[in-house]
Structure 1
Amino acid sequence: MTGVTGVLDEAIKKAAIAWISVGDGPAYALWCLPVETSLAVISGPGEQFAPGLAEADRATVRLRGDHGGLIVTTEATVARLDPNGPEWAEIAPQLATKRLNASGSADELTARWAAADCALVRLTPVEETLIAAPDLGDAAGSATPRETPARVETRKPFRLHRVTRR
């Protein structure tokens, strides 16, 4: 089992994004921060959408390898960090520096997260539920796109002049 946990440890160390699902819900691609042998994820108002993650006890985490394909799937315990606790003070500033396109400094961002009641959770893998390649199976894991108001029908291209056929 040590070889498999080595794969998990390496996947966590290199993780910048993880596919996380709660219960039977769909998996969401969430950016994350490796923290020792677990992952830290922020969600909430003004941040990434992760329905049910803040209230969950367990979640399913899928991680990719260097080649971009799925290499590890595991259940993880979910622990929501208290904004006044020592873990928040240690992890939130590190996570804030990794946040792309954030306005303000890391301290301002962590203060905004605490004020907006954003959920900073720590996902710790449960090794007994670990499934690594080649035991993942052949299923691609793809799904049809979910409905979203961001999808827009495209129109036919506009032509300024009439095109004559020869």
Structure 2
Amino acid sequence: MTSEQLDQALLDLALIEEACKKSGLIWVRGAGAPAARALWHVWHEGAVCLVGDGPGEQPLPGLTDGGSAEVTVRGKDKGGRLVTWQATVSELRPESPEWESAVTELKGKRLNAPDSEDMPARWARSCRVLRLVPTGSVAPLPSDSLAERPLPSPATTRRPIPAGLPKLLAKRRKK
């Protein structure tokens, strides 16, 4: 590897790390998954750490131990794509030192958990904790948007706006 290639590889890793640290969501497409899925994560010890596939946690389709994944990170300020990179997926064994370290970081970032004190025990029983380690350089940005329809979810339901909302908004405009 030439010094220019080494410099580029280090710059790519720095970009991946900084983008992942600043973004709360990443888009991950596991091998064989139909579409990328938005997942919350933490950057810990040179990799993205995820928890899911358990009751009340995010699904992790197509992410298998030893498999690969494509990760896209968006910018925090405008929400546009910053970087896309390939990763190797590894599943952390519950109660191992690596698992404990990753879960400590994940627990601090998990919002709205119904059982914040018992979370690590629940994750050990019924969830998977994964590490996505960058494998190389970043992919070039695409020339088109790559926009897709959102995946179906029971969490996205439309309801009529409350009857009093137009009056409340009109009062704010007058002030």
Interval containing the TM-score (normalised by the shorter chain): 0.7 to 0.9
How far residue 52 of structure 1 moved from its aligned partner, in angstroms, is 2.4
Provide the rounded CA distance (Å) in 2 between the counterparts of 1:15 and 1:71: 10
Unaligned runs of 5+ in 2: 1-7, 164-175
User: How far apart are the structure 2 equivalents of 1:109 and 1:16?
Assistant: 20
Deviations 1:17-70 (A, max 9, x none): 110011242100000011032110001122001212144511111111243111
Q: Which residue of 2 aligns with 1:58?
A: 68
**Counterpart residue type for residue 120 of structure 1:** V
Q: Is the 8 A contact 1:12 1:37 kept in 2?
A: no
147 and 109 in structure 1: CA distance in 2 versus 1, 3 angstrom threshold: closer
SS at 1:87 equivalent? helix
Residue 126 (structure 1) aligned with residue 131 (structure 2):
no
Q: Specify which structure has the higher proportion of helix.
A: 2
Query: Counterpart of 1:126 in 2: which secondary structure?
Result: strand
Query: Which runs of 5 or more residues in structure 1 are unaligned?
Result: 159-166
Q: 66, 76, 81: which is aligned to 2:92?
A: 81
Q: Does 1:16 align with 2:27?
A: no
Question: How high is the sequence identity, in percent, across the aligned residues?
Answer: 33
Contact 2:28-2:39 at 8 Å conserved across structures? yes
How far is 1:103 from its partner?
2.0
TM-score normalised according to structure 1 size: 0.79
- 2:59 — aligned with what? 49
1:101 corresponds in structure 2 to 112
Matched, 1:91 2:102: yes
Give the C-alpha shift of residue 151 in structure 1.
6.0
Aligned partner letter, 1:6: A
1:7 & 1:153 partners in 2: Cα distance? Answer: 37
Structure-1 separation of matches of 2:40 and 2:20: 12
Contact 1:40 1:120 in 2 (8 A): yes
Letter paired with 1:63? V
Q: 1:142 aligns with which of 124, 134, 147?
A: 147
TM-score, structure 2 normalization: 0.76
Q: Do 1:57 and 1:79's aligned partners in 2 also have CA atoms closer than 8 Å?
A: yes
1:20–1:30 CA contact under 8 A, matched in 2: yes
SS in 2 for 1:72: strand
Number of residue pairs aligned between Structure 1 and Structure 2: 152
CA distance in 2, matches of 1:60, 1:40: 14
Distance across 1 between alignment mates of 2:158 and 2:21: 40
Residue 34 (1) aligns with residue 15 (2): no
Q: How far off is 1:152 after superposition?
A: 5.5
**Residues 105 and 146 of structure 1, relative CA distance in 2, 3 Å threshold:** closer
